[in-house]
Amino acid sequence: MADALILEFEGVGRAEYEAVSDLLGIDIGSGEGDWPPGLLVHTAEETENGWAIFEVWESREAQERFMNERLGQALQGGGVSSPPSRAEWLDLAAHHAPWRLIATRDFRDSAGSGRTGSVVRHGEHASLFRLATRH
């Protein structure tokens, strides 16, 4: 079963989060990039006192490898000099991903904007999951 991790950093904000993400090669706007093996879910938010991260990992060992090989250095380079004020592992009773990939389709905007992109559909109801545009 997957494990969840909650990290909270006091005095850290969006600027530091973006700097760390950039150093890791992850575009937080699109979600594209060099995500670590074993990471299933990553969410981040600003809190009253700083920044919070919630992640779901295949294993604690996968997160530890990422921390030792890449994240520790990126945190320092991104200006996060203090350890998290909270680092808590949760043993998940369940973790499901009902949005399984079912189709991808490329498109060209018919309105003449020159935009192209991909529509990625997931799940039984084929709801729109991501729309990536490029000029």
User: In whole angstroms, how far apart are CA 117 and each of 28, 68, 79, 113, 132?
Assistant: 18, 36, 34, 12, 5
What does the domain layout of the chain look like in residue ranges? 3-91, 101-134
Side by side, the strands of the sheet bearing 127-134 are 101-108, 116-122, 127-134
Q: How far apart are the first and last CA of the chain?
A: 42
**pLDDT digit string, tens, across residues 29-58:** 888 999 999 999 999 999 999 999 999 999
Q: Tell me: pLDDT of 126 over 80.
A: no
CA neighbor of 12 nearest in space, from 79, 71, 66: 79
**pLDDT digit string, tens, across residues 65-120:** 999 999 999 999 999 999 999 999 999 888 877 655 444 444 454 555 554 444 44
CATH number of 3-91: 3.30.70.100
Q: Is the pTM of this model over 0.85?
A: no
